[in-house]
Amino acid sequence: MADQTTDVLVIGVGGMGSATIAALAERGVDVIGIERYDIAHANGSSHGNTRIVRRPQYEDLSYVPLVEAAIERWHEIESAIDTRLYHAVGSLDIGPRDGSIFTDSKRSCLEHNIPHEVLDGSALNRRFSGYDVPPDHRAVYQPDGGFVRCEAAIIANVGRAHAAGGTIRARERVEYWSAAESGVRVETDRATYHAETMVVTAGAWTGQLLESLSGLLEPERQVMGWFQPATPSEYQPNAFPVFVCDVPEGHYYGFPIHETPGVKLGRFNHRSETGVPSTLDHTPDRTDESLLRSFTDSYLSAEIGPTQRLSTCLFTNTPDEDFLLDIHPDHESVIVGAGFSGHGFKFASVVGDILASLALDGATEHPIDPFAIDRFD
């Protein structure tokens, strides 16, 4: 292929990259997205049907305005493309009464006027009968939370990009890039590109493309499991809100039955396995399965039958687990959207707008100071 020239090149068309390309194309920009795998694939961080969206942010209260903007944006995107991406099944933040998940989630609701109810474990188990959490645990129930359909969102964003004239090339891997007199020169395994600006949204591979940032970006192996309950009606979206739950066995999260059969569960920082993606085992094993089943056995009310599916996935953790959303400190033509750790997907709708603004204007109206790269200097 002859050398290609474009205004903006986006590296990585996953959760964040697809939203960025759509936002750029809709602003009339000449944009090309390069994806090493397929459009929606299971090797990165954005597969497994569903991602939790919670309005309260026990991780850090400063995320609340951004999550509110993200939810509004998901709804705008849904209306524009006439496709349902967001399911408001409610969210539960469950933990010991003095633990961070419960206390900071509640604080988040009180400080930001987020409608919510506080339930003790017994009340929660009565109201949502699929649960069997410790009676003295506490939960923040927030009715507008829920989940977003992750692969569907990527495909929808790629559709938006195509409709607005953007180009997306899958099964093409970026191998090398260098700063040019103006912009960047990028070599893939198929072509050479010249762009004014490059946006790097390469998920767990970002540290390999931006070596000076690799120490800030640590990929971590995770596993998701789907398990068939004996009473599936208790685990349908109308009966079983999404949850995060802190118990002695770990910090778990889960979803009602949706698309794939079975109730879906994960455990944060699953087995604490870190490394570059090629060194992490992408095949789930029996130990992975039993770690997830230790939650279903103790904290769900139904008898949990056969496993339906297991799938590995990658977090990309920064030292403080907050994102990197910034202009590269050494290259003004390079925009970085990375380090989304275990909680980034819900923000993808608005991250696309933020990265598009950084690429075009060098600034955004959204509150991204906490995500500046120089916080680690």
Ligand X SMILES: Cc1cc2nc3c(=O)[nH]c(=O)nc-3n(C[C@H](O)[C@H](O)[C@H](O)COP(=O)(O)OP(=O)(O)OC[C@H]3O[C@@H](n4cnc5c(N)ncnc54)[C@H](O)[C@@H]3O)c2cc1C
3-state SS class at 330 = coil
Token output for 98: 């003095």
C-beta of 135 vs 215, nearer to ligand X: 215
C-beta of 328 vs 343, nearer to ligand X: 343
Half-sphere exposure of 347 toward its Cβ, with a 13 Å CA cutoff?
24
What is the rounded CA–CA span in Å between residue 53 and residue 42? 20
Q: In angstroms, what is the minimal distance from the CB of 135 to ligand X? A: 26
C-beta of 12 vs 229, nearer to ligand X: 12
C-beta of 135 vs 151, nearer to ligand X: 151
DSSP 190-227: S-EEEEEEEEE--GGGHHHHSGGGGGG-EEEEEEEEEE
Q: In angstroms, what is the minimal distance from the CB of 86 to ligand X? A: 12
C-beta of 229 vs 266, nearer to ligand X: 266
C-beta of 219 vs 229, nearer to ligand X: 219
- Smallest CA-to-CA distance from 49 within 376, 309, 337, 356 is with 309
Q: In angstroms, what is the minimal distance from the CB of 73 to ligand X? A: 14
C-beta of 231 vs 285, nearer to ligand X: 285
Q: In angstroms, what is the minimal distance from the CB of 268 to ligand X? A: 9
Q: How far is CA 279 from the centre of its chain?
A: 22
CB 244 within 8 A of CB 295: no
DSSP H or E run through 262: none
C-beta of 73 vs 346, nearer to ligand X: 346
Give burial (CB, 10 Å; 0-12/13-18/19+) of 280.
middle
Q: In angstroms, what is the minimal distance from the CB of 346 to ligand X? A: 4
Give me the helices (H) in the chain, please: 15-26, 64-81, 100-111, 121-127, 150-163, 206-209, 286-299, 348-361
Q: In angstroms, what is the minimal distance from the CB of 205 to ligand X? A: 3
C-beta of 123 vs 194, nearer to ligand X: 194
Give me the helices (H) in 27-91, please: 64-81
Q: In angstroms, what is the minimal distance from the CB of 288 to ligand X? A: 11
Q: Nearest residue to ligand X, using CB?
A: 14
- Smallest CA-to-CA distance from 19 within 362, 375, 325 is with 325
Q: In angstroms, what is the minimal distance from the CB of 342 to ligand X? A: 5
C-beta of 181 vs 235, nearer to ligand X: 235
CB 342 within 8 A of CB 323: no
Residues that bind ligand X (CB under 6 A): 11-17, 34-37, 44-46, 51-52, 173-174, 201-203, 205, 209, 222, 224, 266, 313-315, 340, 342-346
Q: In angstroms, what is the minimal distance from the CB of 122 to ligand X? A: 26
**Beta strands at 242-247 and 250-255: parallel, antiparallel or unpaired:** antiparallel
Q: In angstroms, what is the minimal distance from the CB of 316 to ligand X? A: 6
Token output for 177: 């890039």
3-state SS class at 150 = helix
Half-sphere exposure of 200 toward its Cβ, with a 13 Å CA cutoff?
29
CB atoms near residue 229 (< 10 Å)? 21
Token output for 287: 């130990």
Q: How far is CA 130 from the centre of its chain?
A: 26
